Amino acid sequence: MTGVSTATNCDVNTDGNTGCGVQATSANNYGPSFNANGGGWYAMERTNTFIKVWFWPRNGGSPPSDVSSGSGSINTDAWGTPAAFFPNTSCDIGSHFDQNNIIINLTFCGDWAGIDSIFNAAGCPGSCVDYVNNNPGAFTNAYWDIAAVRVYE
């Protein structure tokens, strides 16, 4: 994989629920640089033997033609090295993962950032909830602009 593993124990009950993290090597896969670059494509392939995740930036990237064209059929073998790769070496993927649910969520505070001590440790006074409720103008650019969501089976 092209990303860097940040944690390898995926059990939510260990390591502070860090999960199996992978840090991407490109800086434009989320946040302001993602937006400035015009977005990009994410793809995930899950089988009983592995999970792979790819990312291609919209500008300056080289997404496979079956991805960029929205083709009716895809060939993940031609997509190159994924950003994240989770092989079925110490986790029986088939028994631990069921149907995927695609959730697109713009959570401002959430379970972690909504904790006052976490919010305050980032240098922010008060609570996240109060900040969101009292500063709607701070979120005028907080939205999703999604061209497509495609599911292949």
Q: Which residue has the tokens 């092989």?
A: 87
Query: If residue 143 lies in a helix (H) or strand (E), which one and from where to where?
Result: none
- Region of residue 83 (left: phi > 0; alpha: psi -120 to 50; beta: else): alpha
How many other CB atoms sit within 10 Å of the CB of residue 28? 21
Inter-residue contact 48 to 25 (CB < 8 Å)? no
The pLDDT tens digits of the residues spanning 73-117 come to 999 999 999 999 988 887 788 887 888 889 888 888 888 778 898
Amino acid at 82: P
Question: For the segment 4-39, what is each residue's pLDDT rounded down to a tens digit?
Answer: 888 777 777 777 777 778 888 888 888 888 888 889
Instruction: Please give the model's pTM, rounded to 2 decimal places.
Output: 0.78
